[in-house]
Structure 1
Amino acid sequence: MESSPIAALPGQAPGPRLAFAGDRQRPDEIAESLAALANAHGGALVISGGRGSQLAPLRDPAAAIELALSAALACTPPLIIPLPQVVVYHDMPVVVVEVPAGLPYVYSINGRYLRREGDSNQPLSPAALHRLFSERAELGWERQVPLGASFAELDPDLITAYARRVGPPAGDDPMTLLTRRGCLIDNRPTNAGLLLFGRDVAVRFPQAEITLVRYRGREPDDVFERADICAPLPDAIRRAERWLNDHMRKGSRMIGLEREDWTQFPPAAVREALVNAVAHRDYAARGEGIRITLFSNRLEVYSPGRLPGHVTLDNIRAERFSRNPAIVQVLADLGLVERLGYGIDRMLRHLAAAGLPPATFHETAAGFLVILPGHPFAEELPGGIDTTAWRRMGLNDRQISALLFVVEQQRITNRDLQEMHPDVSPETIRRDLSDLVARGLLLKVGDKRATYYILK
């Protein structure tokens, strides 16, 4: 199914990762297929107005989506799934329900444990069920309701914004939406709900803190910049990403009158490393948070908790296992993470596209460490200049180009900068250079047409 576009699934035959159902079936009947897929390798369920794989147009697609969501809640524990999608196949509207791979729980329906085998749902034998429980280890911390937790601890503005982002039918009732996402149980917030939507995350979960540090060299020293972030997870990701983008080295070099820019790390790869750490860390581990450290030649991202389930360093690119499915699904709803868990692959692709070596992965005694190699320009600066400080000062691209030109040519004139930016007015060019003089970066030499500028 991973290689098949969702729109093509209705036309395929039932199999280990694809099941079919009719819109007149009961929720518990639909739930059998959802639980069977979840207990195997994930997949998809197609709901149409026909019987089995004999497709017919849906009478009411919205009702079919509600049927699928009700079936997911009928599973034990409730199954967290992305919002089902309406697909038009040969002019027939049908609903496709995705069941993610790598879930950490074993699911039952009315006390029965099923697994998708071939094109049917089969009961699990006692030995197979025992083996499945051992493999998945019942990692249920995010579904637990902390002692004394109340709905008042959640931020209503965050919930409203989230429900609006998800949209109907799943987002029209925020309470139902949070229940379906594993963030509420009997209107009380779970650990996942408090981490994602809590008013004060630090009160209950100080271990959810993200610590960001930047050193100038290859090793820790006494001179560094640091920030600590403890906030609802979506906001924490956004704030940490901004900090990293602001503090990683960025540089440029002039090739003739053209400027070539580079960054210390591909921003997209940094984002994947950050989001994966937040989404998949072990939040039950107290006493330490995520640590992200910028060095001159590398970025280290440490998250508490060793690799979950059956994932190992050897199979990390191929296997899927989500320690925190509720957290991952909400972050996916908000566009912060891909639900199917291909962050490692994307990280490696972004590094390769930037001409950098692959990231390395390490298990420590109590955690997981990802190391991203940095661009050599960031450390050696061959033919380039680190422009990070200039950008922090708020200089615009024209001013940075002017400073780079002066570094290489020892001087610059209004005409030089005008040739580099022919679409900009002469008055704007004059103001750019005057501002650099006022900031103490350039020194004006001469007068009128003989004027030129040098580094101060």
Structure 2
Amino acid sequence: MSEPQSGFPFEPGTELMADRARSREAVEVCLESLRTGALPDSAERQRVDFKEEAGRRGVAGSLLPGVSENTKAADQLADEVSAMANTPGGGALIVGVEDRSGDLLGTDLNIEWLRQQIYRRVEVAPEIEEHIEQGIRLLVIYAAEAREPVDDTSGRIRWRVGAASAPVDRGEWWARRQDRSGWDSMARPTSFTIDSVRPEAIAVARDYLARRDTSNDTQADLAAAAPTDMLRRIGVLSVDGYLTEAGALLFCPAPRAWLTWTRLDVEGGDILAYDSEYEGLSLLEQIERVEALLDAANDRITLPGEFSERAIRQLPSRSAREAVLNGVVHRDWNLQEPTTATWVEADASLTVVSPGGFVGGISADNVLTQRYSRYPALADVSRALGLVDKQGVGVDRMYREMVSIGHRPPLLVEEPGPRVRVRLAGGQPLLPIIRLTSKIQPAARQRDVQIALIVHTLLRSPFTTVQRMSKILQRTVDEAAEALEIAHRCVIDGQPLISPLKNVWTLSKEARHIVGGQAADRKMLQRQRVLWFMAPGAEEASEIVSQWFEVQDRITSGDYSKLTGMTPAGARGALDRFVQEGRLVRGDAAGRNAHYLPRGNATILQPETPQENGS
């Protein structure tokens, strides 16, 4: 047993804090060396690296003026942050220093912009601090040790070796991880070797790898590699020939079914198909079989000519697949019951129940923003095989793909057991909503889960607020306000997607027309409570005004007109009827300032309203 290191008294959970303290100390040592005109030695540079900001050199190597946003520098620093994050103990980058000479060049990069750009590229959000050294502005980027391998922007895994970064394969990365606290059991070596691997599992792995959409030359031949080489490169076979627990789980025969499939006619009805005879198959084979059954059950629907005869599934395929795979990869493997997948024919719905509750601070209220793997090694090899996407991206995609074609958002619930239940309800897509979402510009915003959820909310509510969207988007109030501003800058047919109204937001007149402008669509939309507030009847009018007074103290005919699409005269008449019924009173102003107030403390009739997320 090693002696405890001085200066760092042990407490559970303080390892990362101790690593950060060591990095800060190393940064100060390196800066002190520069002050004396000397370069730090290679031992000091293991944890700290100097980086001149990329893109700052002009003709004959002249130093160009600095800028606050520099994408070349963001690309360069994202790769270096990934290497530091892969290195045991993490480390730091000092930006604005010439690497070979140690000359201070400085940098004008904006800290918040740089942090976001690095996160966007390698999904690491480092701590960044400004340092003024000899009157020159430097940035120090601190990267904590990652729980899983971090690919750089070229799909490589690198870490620090002395004063430079060097490539490392997944197997070596996990072997090193075992020597540090906090590693997970799925990385532990077993007594199983390549001889224990089912050839059928290798064939399934080759199939998944061949489907991967990648231009990375280092992985292009992985699907055709020899089994030993393949397993070593995806990080499940050690140099001495033993499979990790993740490798044995995925590639060796299972003692029981880890997955089951049930197909019902209606909820709680007759069983049309049941498949659970998976004993002896590897987990990879079980996953492939359930995926095939799901594919056969999930019928295609051909959209009309305006969508170029496009065919889509009743349930978005990637959403359904993500639900199943998340239920396998992130389940509690200390429990022996299977992950269950149930398809209901009448609803085109999929319910996946996985053993074990939420962990790592994840809950149903933050799945869009929080990231955590119960078993990082299993999650990593699943990504290496192309089974799942980068951590957390699949959940975002589930939400976006569901609401963008008119379905409800996914339902995620933690139940007694504990276990997590995920339900996706599909069926006939709503063509008017597809018509709207396919028109959003810039086109990249059609893939933005926040824009999709804002549109979904405003199709089912006359308006929304920053506070309401904060809950739906699972982000802070400031972040929700920013998302609404971004949605406002999006256009459809040259017009804004959403519009401000006092301190709330509404779907724009143009967007509402695209969805509800065709008479043939209106009855179907009303059944789904889409745009129910347009030209409302008496019951809907009460609901609209009730919701308005939850966030405003008065209402004008102009407000009501914009909420409902009615003419100003029609809106005034609707509000006057509330006055006649004794539920509103006219304010004491006239003309443009004319308005209506609730009568006393009496509440307006409030019919039961659906949940804000449409569930």
> What TM-score comes out, normalization by structure 2 length?
0.39
Return the alpha-carbon distance in structure 1 between the equivalents of residues 226 and 351 of structure 2: 41
Letter in 2 for 1:151: I
| 1:323 is aligned to 2:374 | yes
Identify the match of residue 368 of structure 1 among 417, 420, 426.
420
Task: Answer whether contact 2:327 2:339 (CA < 8 A) is retained.
Answer: no
Is it true that 1:12 corresponds to 2:74 in the alignment? yes
Corresponding residue number in structure 2 for 1:142: 186
* Alignment correspondent of 2:248: 194
Asked if the contact 1:207/1:283 (under 8 Å) is kept, the reply is no
Task: Give the whole-Å Cα distance in 2 for the aligned partners of 1:10 and 1:98.
Answer: 24
Pick one of 276, 279, 290 that aligns with 2:329: 279
CA 1:273/1:13 → structure 2, altered by over 3 Å: closer, same or farther?
Answer: closer
**Residue 454 (structure 1) aligns with:** none
* Equivalence for 2:275: 227
Distance in structure 2 (CA, Å) of the matches to 1:317 and 1:175: 37
> Aligned pair count?
292
Residue in structure 1 matched with residue 339 of structure 2 by the alignment: 289
- Offset, 1:213: 1.0
**Closer, same or farther: CA 355–337 of 1 in aligned 2, 3 Å:** same
Secondary structure of 1:12 counterpart: helix
Q: Which residue of 1 aligns with 2:88?
A: 35
Partner of 2:261: 212
* Distance in 1 (alpha carbons) for counterparts of 2:237 and 2:374: 18
Q: 1:153 matched to which residue of 2?
A: 196
The yes-or-no answer on 1:339 pairing with 2:390 is yes
What per-residue deviation string (whole Å, max 9, x for no partner) do you get for residues 333-362 of structure 1? 232211233111001111012111101110
1:14-413 matches, within 5 Å, as: 19=80, 34-37=87-90, 80-82=149-151, 85=154, 138=182, 140-146=184-190, 148-155=191-198, 168=218, 175=228, 178=231, 181-185=234-238, 186-198=240-252, 200=253, 202-203=254-255, 206-208=256-258, 210-217=259-266, 219-228=267-276, 230=278, 231-250=281-300, 263-297=313-347, 298-365=349-416, 366-375=418-427
1:372 aligned counterpart, secondary structure: strand
- 1:405-445 deviations in Å (ceiling 9; x for gaps): xxxxxxxxxxxxxxxxxxxxxxxxxxxxxxxxxxxxxxxxx
CA contact (8 A) 1:234 1:331 kept: no
Q: Which amino acid aligns with 1:34?
A: T
Structure 1 counterpart of 2:127 = none
Distance in 2 (alpha carbons) for counterparts of 1:173 and 1:339:
26
Larger radius of gyration: 2
Long gaps (5+) in structure 1: 1-7, 22-29, 55-74, 88-93, 112-132, 379-456
Instruction: Give the aligned residue type for 2:354.
Output: S
1:330 Cα deviation from its structure 2 partner: 2.4
User: How far apart in 2 are the matches of 1:20 and 1:253?
Assistant: 45
Call closer, same or farther: CA 1:32–1:364 in 2, change over 3 Å: closer
CA 1:158/1:99 → structure 2, altered by over 3 Å: closer, same or farther? closer
Structure 1 counterpart SS, 2:378: helix
Q: Tell me by how many angstroms 1:179 deviates.
A: 5.0
Counting strand residues as a fraction of each chain, which structure ranks higher?
A: 1
Q: Is the 8 A contact 1:183 1:193 kept in 2?
A: yes
Q: Is the 8 A contact 1:213 1:226 kept in 2?
A: yes
Which amino acid in 2 is paired with 1:194?
A
Going from structure 1 to structure 2, the CA distance change for 1:225 and 1:189 (only over 3 Å counts) comes to same
Distance in 2 separating the partners of 1:176 and 1:320: 30
Query: Could you say what secondary structure the match of 2:373 adopts?
Result: coil
The amino acid of 1:364's aligned partner reads: E
Match of 1:71 in 2: none
- The secondary structure found in structure 2 opposite 1:237 is helix
Q: What amino acid is the match of 2:286?
A: A
Q: Quick check: 1:80–1:180 contact (8 Å CA) kept in 2? A: no
Letter in 1 for 2:317: P
Larger displacement relative to structure 2 (310-319 or 160-169): 160-169
Q: Distance in 1 between matches of 2:84 and 2:150?
A: 12
How many Å apart are 1:308 and its aligned residue? Answer: 2.2
- Give the superposition deviation at 1:292: 3.1
SS at the partner of 1:85? coil
SS at match of 1:214: strand
TM (normalized to structure 1)?
0.51
User: C-alpha distance in 2, partners of 1:261/1:273?
Assistant: 21
Partner Cα separation in structure 2 for residue 372 and residue 254 of structure 1: 24
User: What amino acid is aligned across from residue 301 of structure 1 in structure 2?
Assistant: V
Equivalent residue letter for 2:248: L
- Provide closer, same or farther for how the CA distance between residues 178 and 232 of structure 1 changes in structure 2, counting only shifts above 3 A: same
Q: 5+ residue gaps in structure 2?
A: 1-69, 104-143, 157-163, 211-215, 431-615
Do the aligned residues in 1 keep the contact of 2:327 with 2:353 (CA within 8 Å)? yes
Contact 2:263 2:273 in 1 (8 A): yes
Q: RMSD value over aligned CA atoms? A: 5.0
The 8 Å contact of residues 31 and 109 in structure 1, kept in 2 or not, is answered as no
Equivalent residue, structure 2, for 1:440: none
Any conservation in 1 of the 2:194–2:228 contact (CA below 8 Å)? no
Counting aligned pairs with the same residue, the percent is: 23
Alpha-carbon distance in structure 2 between the residues aligned to 1:314 and 1:300: 19
**Change in CA separation of 1:184 and 1:37 when aligned onto 2, cut-off 3 Å:** same
Q: Any idea what the Cα deviations from partners look like across 1:365-388, whole Å, max 9, x if unmatched?
A: 22111011122589xxxxxxxxxx
